[in-house]
Amino acid sequence: MGSGRADLTTHLAAPLVGPGRNGRGPRRSMGSPGPPPVYHPGMLDHEEKFLFKEEIGQLGTAMADTAVLDNVEDLLTDVITSPRFDSEVFTLERSLQVMLGARAGSTLVGLLTVTPEVFDEVAEVRISPEVHERLVAWRARFGLAIDNALNFLNNPDGIQGHSFATQIAHIEDRRVLQGRLTLVRYNNEPQFFVADASVFLGLVSDVLERLGPYLEPDAVDPETIARLKEAIALVERKTAPRG
């Protein structure tokens, strides 16, 4: 029973919702670690249905008050309409956990983004008609947008492309070398970041230091390794003391 609960909680908190973009395996909302569920996302066996109903029952209890339902709906509406939609979605589960409790908050995010076949099982759970009506409406109104945002935030394909350029800024009679990083997001909108050269060099160092311990032998192609070596050599050559 314990292991089944863990699998179900993993599924609800971070649902697998089908193949990722370009068919690169399953997508997982929230990027939650842990094993995938042991059951097919479109089918629940007897024990899984029991656990599923228990999770939904707890959620229904947490949202039994109309005022709580209204507060949750206001939060979801604020997230969807926020100019900072992506960042707001990424913290949505934590906000719901604060509002409803840890288990119920995670369960609600899962229900909004889980497969239709699994969501249909909610109809078999004894929760108030008002709660069930809200869940159906929230899924229809918010589910797809939240699922897509979470998928791309946790998927490398969330950044469709990038470019980097340099520029010289004149600041208080000084010439300052700056970088301009452009990231093309999943909705095809570019986002620009301008900072001094030292900031981007620090960023590159952080990326390499944090990726390095987890790289596999075939994780980086020889061309990229060669480019990294040439770039390091160029930086050392250009910053070496003159004389």
Q: Is the pTM value of this prediction over 0.95? A: no
Q: What average pLDDT does this structure show over 117-122? A: 79
Lowest model confidence (mean pLDDT) among 112-121, 165-174, 201-210, 211-220: 112-121
Q: What average pLDDT does this structure show over 16-39? A: 36
Write out pLDDT tens, residues 97-109: 899 998 888 888 8
Q: Is the pLDDT of residue 11 over 70?
A: no
Q: Helices 102-113 and 46-62 meet at what angle, rounded to 10?
A: 110
The whole-number pLDDT of residue 33 equals 38
Q: If you average pLDDT over every residue of the chain, what do you get? A: 76
Write out pLDDT tens, residues 37-81: 333 444 455 566 667 778 888 898 999 999 999 999 999 998 888
Q: Of 14, 101, 98, nearest to 60 (Cα)?
A: 101
Instruction: Determine what percent of the chain is predicted with pLDDT higher than 70.
Output: 73
Write out pLDDT tens, residues 157-206: 567 778 999 999 888 888 999 999 988 766 666 788 899 999 999 999 99
3-state percent helix, strand, coil for the chain, nearest multiple of 5: 60, 15, 20
The whole-number pLDDT of residue 71 equals 93
**Residue-by-residue DSSP string for 103-171:** HHHHHHHHHHHS-HHHHGGGGGS---HHHHHHHHHHIIIIIHHHHHHHHHHTSGGGEEEEEEEEEEEEE
pLDDT, greater one: 155 or 147? 147
